[in-house]
Structure 1
Amino acid sequence: MNEYADLLIIGAGPAGMSAALAAASSGARIVVLDDNPLPGGQIWRDGPQASLPDQARQMRERLQANSNIRHHAGTRVIALAGAKQLLVEDADRGWLIGYDKLILCTGARELLLPFPGWTLPGVTGAGGLQALIKGGLPVQDERVVIAGSGPLLLASAATAKHNGAQVLRIAEQASAVAVAGFALQLPRWPGKLVQSFSLFDRHYRTGSHVVAALGNDRLEAVRLRHRGKIVELACDRLACGFGLIPNTQLGQALGCALDGSALAVDAWQTTSHTDHYAAGECTGFGGSELALVEGAIAGHVAVGNTAAARNLWPRRARWQGFAKALNSAFGLDPQLKSLAQPDTLVCRCEDVPYSALSGHVGWREAKLASRCGMGACQGRVCGGALQYLFDWQPTAPRPPFNPARIETLMCLDDTPPV
C-alpha cells in the first residue's frame, strides 16, 4: 500500500507536533512519522513512570482531533525511493510515502565520549537513564552519579530522585564562572528561572568531569576529577552525557546543507533543498520552547501562510537568545578530548580501540582500516565522539538508514526510475 501527503513531517517531538498543528487549519493532508509509540519525542517521552506536562497532553489531544493529520507511530524511514518519495516501515509492514512538502523534525541524540570503563553494565547516557526510568527501570535506593554537561544532567537527576534513587553527585564539566554567568541571564526567561529552582541539587558540582568508570563485571565506582583533584565514589549507576548532537542523517541524504553540525535553514526554516524544511534540534540545540516556535513557523510556511510565520519571528529570536547563552556556557572543555586511553573502546559495536583510530585522517580511511562505525548502530554513537575528538565530518548515510525486512526493501521495485 502506498500513501501520499501534501505535507510529510518526520518526527513527532515538540517541533513536529507544533508544525502539524500550525499547518492543520489549511486543510492539507498531513502525515506525521515517528519511531516512538506516542507523540512527544525524547523530552516528552511517555512510559509507566513518566509524568507528562499539560502542554504535551494538550498538543497530543489536538493532533488526534484533527481529521486531516495522520500519525504513524513506531515508523522509521528506510530509504529514499525517488523524487519526493520515501520508503518507510513499521512493525507490521513497509510502504512508500510520496509528498509535496516535507518538514524534518528529527531531533538530536546524546554525545557520548569514550573514557575507560564507559562500556561497563550500569553506565548509560544521562538522557538514556532518564528514558529508561520513564520506561519502567527500577532505581529505588540505587546510588547514582550523573556527569557530563548541560541542563539535561539536572533533569536526569530529578527523574532519578523522583523514582527513589540516591543521587551522589552531579558533575558538570563547565566552570563555575560559566555556569554562574548563565544563571545570571536566566531572569530574561522567567520560566527557565523558575525551572532552575525546581531542579537545583545540593550535590551539583562545576569544574568536574568523569575520568573512569571502575568495576569488573559491572559498574562499582566512578573516578572524577573535581577542580584538579581526583575523587572516587562507589555507585550503582553512572549516567554520562556531554550535550546533544543534531540528527541530520536523513537531511543529508535528501541533499540538505549543513551549518556546522546542524541542518542549515533560513528565516522561514527552509533548508537548501526546495520544499524541504527543518525545525527543532536537528537545526541546533535550544530547548523545547525554541523547537515549538520553529516547528510552528515551518508548518505555516509549508502551507503558504507566511504572514502567520513572520508573526512568530520575535518569539523565535527570544528563544534563540536562550539557546546562544546555553551553548556558550556549556561548551566542552578541550581536556575532555584526552579522556580515552589507547585501549579504550571508541566503537563498541566493532570493538575498535582509540589506538586504532588516532593515526587516521578521516572517517572513510578509519572505516576501511578498522570497521569503525560499521556495526549495528552505523556510527550513531562513535560518529559523534569522533567528530568531537578528531573533527571528522560524518558523511551522508547510505540506505537502508535503519535495519529493514526484505519485504520492505522489495517495495522499491514498485518505484519508477528517476
Structure 2
Amino acid sequence: MIETTDLLIIGAGPAGIAAALAAAPSGARITLIDDNPLAGGQIWRDGPQAKLPTLARQLRQDLQHHTNVRHYPATRVIAQSGARQLLLEDPQRGWRIHYDKLILCTGARELLLPFPGWTLPGVTGAGGLQALIKGGLPVSGQRLVIAGSGPLLLASAATARQAGADILRVAEQAPRSAVAGFAAQLPRWPHKALQAFGLFDRHYRTDTHVLAALGSDRLEGVRLSQRGQIVELACERLACGFGLIPNTQLGQALGCALDGHALAVDEWQTSSLVDHYAAGECTGFGGSELALVEGAIAGHAAVGDRDAARALWSRRKRWQGFADTLNHAFALDPRLKSLAQPDTLVCRCEDVTYAALSGHRDWREAKLASRCGMGACQGRVCGGATSHLFGWQQAAPRPPFSPARIDTLLCLDDTPPA
C-alpha cells in the first residue's frame, strides 16, 4: 500500500506542530509523524510525572481541530523507498508514503562525552534523566549530581527536585564570566529571564566539570573539578549533558546539505533540496520559541503562503539572537576533550576504547577497524562524541534507519525503480 500526502512533516515537537498548524488553513493534505506516542517532542514530553505547559496543551488541541491533518504517533522512518517516497513503521504495520513536499523537524539529541565511569549504572544524560522521571522513574530521596553545560542542566535539576531528589550539585563547565554575561543579556527576552529566575538552584556552580564517575557495580560517587579544586561527592545518580546535537541523519540520507553540524536552510527554511524544508533544532539549537517560529515559516512556505512566512522573519531574527547568545556563552571548554583516558569506552555498544580510536584519521577508518558506531545506537551516541573529540564527520546513514520488522522491509520489494 502506498499512501499519498501533499505535505509530510517528520517530527511532532514544537517545530513540527507549528508547521502543521501554519499549513493547515490551506486545505492541503498534511501528514505529521513522530516516534513518540504523543505530540510535543522531547521538550514537551508527556508521562505520569510530566507537567505540560499550557501552550503545549493548547497546540495539541489545535491540531485535533484540523481534519486535513493526520497525526501518526509511534511512527518511524525506516528507509527511502523511491523518489519522494518513504517507508514507515508503527507498532501495527509498515507502509509507504508518497509526498509532494516534506518538512524535517527531527530535533536534536544530547551530546554525551566519555569520561571514566560514564557507563556505570546510575549515570545518564541530563535530558535522559528528565525524560525518565517524567515517565515515572522514582528518584525521591536519591542524591543527585547534574553536570555538563547549558540551561538543560537547570531544567533537569528542577524536574528531579520536584520529584523529591536531593540535588547536591549542578556543575556548569562554562566560566562565571560567560554565564554572568549571558544573564545580563536575558532582559532582552523577558520570558527567558523569568524562566531562568524560576529555575535557579543554590547548588549551581560555574567553571565546574565532571572528572570521573566512581563505583564498581554501580555509581557510588562523582569526582568534579570545581573552580580548580578536586571535589568528591557521594551520590546515587549522575546526569551529564554537554549540549545538543542536531538530528541530521534523515536529512543527510535524503541528500540535504549541512551547514556545520546542522541542516542548511535559506530564509524560507528550504533545504538544499527543492520542496524539502527543515525547521527547529535539526537546523541548530535555539530553544522552543525559535523552533515554533521556524516551523511556522516552513509550514507557510511549503503551501505557498510566502507573505505569511515573511511576516515571521523579524520574530525569527529575535530568537536567533537569543540562540547565538546562548551558544556563545555555553561553548565547551577544550579541557573536556581530555576527560577520557586510554581505557575509557567511547563506543559502549561495541566496547571500543579511546585508545582504539585515537590513531585513526576519520570516522570511516575507525569504524572499519574497530566496529565503532556499529552497535544498537548506530553511532547516535559515539558519533557525536568522536565528532567533538576528533573532529570526525559521520557519513549519511544507510537504510534501514531504525530497527524494523521483516514484514515492513518486505514492503520495499514492491518499490518500482526510481
Normalising by structure 2, we get a TM-score of 1.00
Equivalent residue number for residue 141 of structure 2: 141
Aligned partners of 1:90, 1:268: CA distance in 2, in Å? 31
Letter in 2 for 1:201: D
Aligned partners of 2:264, 2:397: CA distance in 1, in Å? 17
Letter in 1 for 2:188: R
Equivalent residue number for residue 251 of structure 2: 251
Mapping of residues 37-186 of structure 1, within 5 Å: 37-186=37-186
Equivalent residue number for residue 326 of structure 1: 326
Instruction: Tell me the CA shift for residue 64 of structure 1.
Output: 1.1
1:30 aligns with 2:38: no
Equivalent residue number for residue 231 of structure 1: 231
Instruction: Tell me the CA shift for residue 344 of structure 1.
Output: 0.2
Equivalent residue number for residue 314 of structure 1: 314
Letter in 2 for 1:204: Y
Mapping of residues 250-329 of structure 1, within 5 Å: 250-329=250-329
Aligned partners of 1:262, 1:36: CA distance in 2, in Å? 22
Aligned partners of 1:135, 1:3: CA distance in 2, in Å? 33
Structure 1 segments unaligned to the other structure (5+ residues): none
Aligned partners of 1:108, 1:158: CA distance in 2, in Å? 21
Letter in 2 for 1:393: Q
Letter in 2 for 1:229: Q
Aligned partners of 1:168, 1:293: CA distance in 2, in Å? 37
Letter in 1 for 2:45: R
Paired residue secondary structure (1:18): helix
Instruction: Tell me the CA shift for residue 413 of structure 1.
Output: 1.2
Instruction: Tell me the CA shift for residue 398 of structure 1.
Output: 0.3
Aligned partners of 1:358, 1:227: CA distance in 2, in Å? 29
Letter in 1 for 2:85: Q
Paired residue secondary structure (1:378): coil
Aligned partners of 1:4, 1:63: CA distance in 2, in Å? 20
Paired residue secondary structure (1:156): helix
Instruction: Tell me the CA shift for residue 65 of structure 1.
Output: 1.3
Letter in 2 for 1:153: L
Query: What does the per-residue CA deviation read over 1:206-256, in whole Å, with 9 as the maximum and x for residues that have no partner?
Result: 000000000011000000001111000000000000000000000000100
Aligned partners of 2:72, 2:379: CA distance in 1, in Å? 26
Aligned partners of 2:167, 2:370: CA distance in 1, in Å? 38
Letter in 1 for 2:80: L
Q: Sequence identity, in percent?
A: 78
Normalising by structure 1, we get a TM-score of 1.00
Structure 2 segments unaligned to the other structure (5+ residues): none
Instruction: Tell me the CA shift for residue 2 of structure 1.
Output: 2.2
Query: What does the per-residue CA deviation read over 1:82-133, in whole Å, with 9 as the maximum and x for residues that have no partner?
Result: 1000001011110001000000000000000000000000000000000000
Aligned partners of 2:17, 2:296: CA distance in 1, in Å? 9
Instruction: Tell me the CA shift for residue 310 of structure 1.
Output: 0.2
Equivalent residue number for residue 375 of structure 2: 375
Paired residue secondary structure (1:112): coil
Aligned partners of 2:40, 2:196: CA distance in 1, in Å? 22
Aligned partners of 1:91, 1:388: CA distance in 2, in Å? 35
Letter in 2 for 1:128: G
Aligned partners of 1:309, 1:57: CA distance in 2, in Å? 24
Aligned partners of 2:93, 2:348: CA distance in 1, in Å? 30
1:416 aligns with 2:416: yes
Query: What does the per-residue CA deviation read over 1:331-390, in whole Å, with 9 as the maximum and x for residues that have no partner?
Result: 000000000000000000000000000000001100111000000100000000000000
Aligned partners of 2:159, 2:329: CA distance in 1, in Å? 23
1:11 aligns with 2:11: yes
Aligned partners of 2:382, 2:64: CA distance in 1, in Å? 37
